[in-house]
Copies of this chain bind each other. A is one copy, B any other.
Amino acid sequence: MNSTEIAKLANVSRSTVSRVINNYSNVDPITKKKVQDVINKYGYTPNISARNLAGKANNIIGLFIADIVTDNVKEREFIGSDSPYNNRFIKEVIKAAHSKGFLVLIDIITDNKDVSKMETYFSNKLVTGGIFIGFPYKNFELEKLARTNSHVVLIDQLAINDPNRDEFSLINVDDEYGGYIQTNYLINHGHKEIAFIEGDNRLSAIARKAGYIKALQESKINIDYNKIVYGGYKQKESYNVTTELLDNSNITAIVCANDIEAYGAFKAIKKKGLRIPEDISLIGYDNLEFTNEIQLNLTTCTIDVKDMASKAVNSSIVGDKKEEILKPYIIERKSVLKIK
């Protein structure tokens, strides 16, 4: 069944069928109904390839997820269980796309060289737009692609204060704000001796730490660099440094740069026979699934993944070069004690 057949059945030209399909206004309502009825009766849907070829934008957006290994280490563990948002994000992107009548083509990029190949996805009009997530920072290929194509949206890729950021379509998380509200949450609960387990050298980790420092400064709490330790976003390293912290300092609370670290800290605290939150308060970051577990019940900090997905999908379709900055918020559970 094609438009010619529909046209014949409805006694109109293919042009008119096309106008009805595309819901153009310059069609007589009676004609429109007549055509629509035939379309419905035969369950006709236009051939997508033909539409594309004839110049229509495709209703597919690409979701490009990096799984790039550099120096024998995965640059960003965005795939798999360590990834904070990956799984939820994929799902939300699909749903957001759906609600706009778009489909999602997902591609996993394992080699940075392939980034430039993505160009053809756009030039061939395979996809209308594309969302790129999890790529290493300072990715020249990717920046080039994103600079020339406003339908390429980059997630968490350029520093939130990069001077060239208006050349790109960006979704950023205000991680400094995140670290700030994490720390303030503890301060507002009466804590003063607050340790920080920092992440690695990613932009997000640096920003979260900056937020911690800012919050302390604002509250005139002395910054004790012995209480800032390196957890590398990893569970085991966090476990080790937490054990040391517990031995060598008088802290009442710990800010973790992510939930994985919080989990390591949790174990170290339990191992010492201490209670959460009675003896030590703990706050995480990312709201991973396990933080909701009954034993853990971790108060944490997160952005709205659904919102992120919806904004990303939107930008990729609209194609305007704008920066969306997402503000994290606190999810209150039971790992922080209120001190009088």
Residues on B with beta carbons closer than 8 Å to the beta carbon of A45: 120, 123-124
Contact with B along A103-137 (1 / 0, CB 8 A): 11111100000000000100111100000000000
User: A104 contacts which of B81, B86, B105, B120 (Cβ < 8 Å)?
Assistant: B105
Contact with B along A73-87 (1 / 0, CB 8 A): 000000111000011
Interface residue? A94 (CB, 8 A): yes
User: A60 contacts which of B81, B105, B108 (Cβ < 8 Å)?
Assistant: B105
Please state if B79 and A91 are interface contacts (CB–CB under 8 Å). yes
Interface residue? A189 (CB, 8 A): no
Segment among A31-39, A48-56, A224-232, A251-259 that sits at the interface with chain B: A48-56
**Complex Cα spacing A91 to B107, Å:** 9
**Complex Cα spacing A94 to B106, Å:** 8
Residues on B with beta carbons closer than 8 Å to the beta carbon of A125: 47, 49
Interface residue? A223 (CB, 8 A): no
User: A108 contacts which of B52, B58, B95 (Cβ < 8 Å)?
Assistant: B95
Interface residue? A90 (CB, 8 A): yes
Q: Which single residue of chain B is at the shortest CB-CB distance from A98?
A: B108
Residues on B with beta carbons closer than 8 Å to the beta carbon of A107: 94, 103-104
Interface residue? A289 (CB, 8 A): yes
Q: Which single residue of chain B is at the shortest CB-CB distance from A62?
A: B103
Please state if A105 and B108 are interface contacts (CB–CB under 8 Å). no
Interface residue? A140 (CB, 8 A): no
**Complex Cα spacing A53 to B126, Å:** 13
User: A49 contacts which of B49, B86, B106 (Cβ < 8 Å)?
Assistant: B49
Q: Which single residue of chain B is at the shortest CB-CB distance from A46?
A: B124
Once A124-B48, A125-B49 are accepted as A-B contacts, the answer to whether A104 and B106 lie under 8 Å apart by CB is yes
Residues on B with beta carbons closer than 8 Å to the beta carbon of A106: 90, 94, 104-106
**Complex Cα spacing A103 to B118, Å:** 12
**Complex Cα spacing A80 to B90, Å:** 11
Residue picked from A46, A48, A49, most chain B C-beta under 10 Å: A49
Please provide the chain A residues from 142 to 160 with a CB less than 8 Å away from any CB of chain B in the complex.
Answer: none
**Complex Cα spacing A47 to B105, Å:** 17
**Complex Cα spacing A46 to B49, Å:** 13
Min CB distance A305 to B, Å, is: 12
List 8 extra interface pairs beyond A46-B124, A80-B91, CB under 8 A. A48-B126, A49-B58, A80-B88, A87-B87, A90-B106, A95-B108, A103-B105, A106-B106
Contact sample, A vs B, 26 pairs, CB 8 Å cutoff:
A45-B123, A46-B124, A47-B53, A47-B124, A48-B49, A48-B124, A48-B126, A49-B53, A49-B125, A49-B126, A50-B53, A79-B91, A80-B88, A80-B91, A81-B87, A86-B87, A90-B106, A94-B106, A94-B108, A95-B108, A98-B108, A103-B105, A103-B107, A104-B106, A105-B105, A106-B106
8 nearest interchain CB pairs? Answer: A49-B52, A49-B49, A81-B289, A45-B120, A49-B53, A94-B108, A87-B87, A105-B105
